[in-house]
Amino acid sequence: MVLSVNERTFTQEVLESSVPVLVNFEAPWCGLCRIIHPLLLQFQAECGDELKLVGVNADQNFKLSNTYRLKSLPTLLLIEKGIVKQRLEGFPGKDDLRQALEAIKLTYTSHEKIDIAGVRGQGARGSF
């Protein structure tokens, strides 16, 4: 299940998140939004706790839509430490989205695991 955020909870759930967040700006009337939803759920399951997926109803959160200058729906923003690292919009099909999500997953999931292992290894050596 995708966590639904709004203008009131966006700062805490997205901008202050300890892990990178993929924000899905969508709307109930958007057909492509419904089509990509299963892909996003699969992506979330594959990434586990290393990436967070949230949804924002663009129609009900006009200030956020305006702040992030949405031109089309769906628009996906990868936000890390409050900074937009990647923007995905206007993808022609599911395969394009799948490739972009795979690239994101590889970047963040392998990067995090390497960093954690490196920190643990350094800490163990330094304590002897």
Contact 36, 66 (CB under 8 A): no
Q: Cis (ω within 30 of 0) for the bond into 74?
A: yes
| DSSP codes, 20-59 | -EEEEEE-TT-HHHHHHHHHHHHHHHHHGGGSEEEEEETT
Active-site residues, by number, are: 30, 33
Contact 33, 74 (CB under 8 A): yes
